Amino acid sequence: MRRARPHRVRMSTLFGTPLPLVLAPMAGPGTPALVSAVCGAGGLGSLAGGYSAPDAIRAEIREVRARTDRPFAVNLFVPSEAAIAGDARLRDARDALAPYREALGLDAGALDVSSPSFDAQLAVVLEARVPFFSFTFGIPRPDALDACRRAGITTMGTATNVAEARALEAAGVDVICAQGSEAGGHRGGFLGGDAGSLVGTMALVPAIVDAVKRPVIAAGGIMDGRGVAAALALGASAVQLGTAFLRCPEAGTSAPYREALARADETSTTITRAFTGKPARGIASRFTREMERAPVAPYPLQHALTRELRAAAARAGDAELLSLWAGQGVARARALPAAEIVASIAREAGLTR
Ligand SMILES: Cc1cc2nc3c(=O)[nH]c(=O)nc-3n(C[C@H](O)[C@H](O)[C@H](O)COP(=O)(O)O)c2cc1C
């Protein structure tokens, strides 16, 4: 068995932040205000750019920099080759959504499935020279990783099993984020299919720590100082938390989403493809239950097909049709300002007094 590592020293050299705590990138609820609040409290904030147009990412980076001079990360979604669907499959997926659209007063919906270009998004990250670039769903092309290296940007990739961690290390990625199956939001796996991407954090972190030489960040189900202490004891150099910050006033979480979070317990979440075409963990709802066997287009096409529906559901305050991404630790998410959450977690974990 490996001995525990001297995490705190590793962490401060790794991120240049006082605390080994990373705010997970959260496409949707992750605002520049939340990112900068976590940075200001001593953690590393991550801006989620995966769904955003390059100009929007540029504007959000500027906003974070106006609020804090601490380091932060920008996160993108690595595109996959499988994002092509025949017309028939797209039409079936669109038709399966028709009753929900109708209930919200929307028409049948166009097959407009465009999404932002990864290369254009990455160009903004490079141009802004953000200190950290994190990503999920795969490994960027070697030329993209080279460009980050040349720009002095530290790269952080997501792994849900040892094979993915080894592939990231072999590609020269600097830091590996081990995402356990408890995690809220999308599964970041890209090798091994659905079954191979559902290892729990407690088993995944030591497996990856033992398999690679790169520093490992633990993610999934970590909600308080106890979870942080456990992850560091398992050999993680830092810990990434998403769900723990969803109820912060700085988060862009909508009112019906907040109400669902406040009611949820450890049995409330499920993994569904119905919103985006990729498996993601969120609070179960009428939509996730009814769509279990419905035709779904591959990611990111399904995300584009459900975009209007989700926006209309948010306007109508209908949580049953919203993507309510959350991890299994959701019942321990505190409705407090981000800085207070960071300070409490650091105290509970014995990182500060
Ligand atoms: C609302 C929400 C949105 C998320 N969006 C992203 C994202 O854009 N990019 C990403 O790499 N991970 C995303 N994740 C996953 C997180 O990076 C992380 O793995 C997860 O939050 C850790 O588990 P926890 O939620 O139990 O803390 C998201 C998670 C949540 C809860």
Asked if 174 and 214 count as a contact pair (C-beta separation under 8 A), the reply is: yes
- Token pair listed for 31: 């605002």
Cβ-proximal residues to 290 (8 Å cutoff; 6+ apart), any chain = none
Distance from the alpha carbon of residue 107 to the mean position of ligand 1, in angstroms: 32
Tell me the H-state helices in 153-267.
162-170, 201-211, 225-233, 255-263
143 pLDDT more than 50:
yes
- Per-residue confidence at 4, pLDDT binned at 50, 70, 90? low
| Torsion angles phi and psi, residue 234, rounded to 5 | -80, -5
pLDDT for residue 6: 46
Pocket lining: 243 vs ligand 1, CB cutoff 6 Å: yes
Q: Which domains does the chain have, with CATH numbers?
A: 7-348 (3.20.20.70)
Mean of the per-residue pLDDT values for the chain?
Answer: 93
Pocket lining: 240 vs ligand 1, CB cutoff 6 Å: yes
Ligand 1 atom with least separation from CA of 326: 31
Pocket lining: 322 vs ligand 1, CB cutoff 6 Å: no
Residue 170, SS3 per DSSP? helix
- Per-residue pLDDT reduced to its tens digit, 280-337: 999 999 999 999 999 999 999 999 999 999 999 999 999 999 999 999 999 999 999 9
- Token pair listed for 21: 């705590």
In sequence order, what DSSP letters do the residues of 18-64 get, joined into one string?
Answer: SSSEEEPP-TTT--HHHHHHHHHTTSBEEEE-TTS-HHHHHHHHHHH
Q: What is the spatial distance between Cα 83 and Cα 241, in angstroms, rounded to a whole number?
A: 28
Atom 30 (ligand 1) nearest CA: 185
- Per-residue pLDDT reduced to its tens digit, 177-209: 999 999 999 999 999 888 899 999 999 999 999
- Per-residue pLDDT reduced to its tens digit, 163-176: 999 999 999 999 99
Tell me the H-state helices in 129-187.
142-150, 162-170
Cα dihedral 321/261/245/162 (nearest 10): -70
The amino acid present at 42, given as its one-letter code, is G
- Per-residue confidence at 18, pLDDT binned at 50, 70, 90? very high
Atom 14 (ligand 1) nearest CA: 185
Distance from the alpha carbon of residue 299 to the mean position of ligand 1, in angstroms: 17
- The closest alpha carbon to 279, from 254, 309, 303, belongs to 303
Pocket lining: 219 vs ligand 1, CB cutoff 6 Å: yes
pLDDT for residue 164: 98
- Per-residue pLDDT reduced to its tens digit, 87-128: 788 899 999 999 999 999 998 776 667 789 999 999 999 999
Residue listed under structure tokens 């007094």:
353
Atom 12 (ligand 1) nearest CA: 25
Pocket lining: 326 vs ligand 1, CB cutoff 6 Å: yes
Mean pLDDT of the region 23-36: 97
Distance from the alpha carbon of residue 296 to the mean position of ligand 1, in angstroms: 22
Strands (E), the chain: 21-23, 45-48, 72-77, 132-136, 154-159, 175-179, 185-186, 216-219, 238-241, 269-272, 280-283
The amino acid present at 116, given as its one-letter code, is P
Q: Give just the sign of the alpha carbon dihedral 42, 257, 195, 164.
A: negative
Pocket lining: 133 vs ligand 1, CB cutoff 6 Å: no
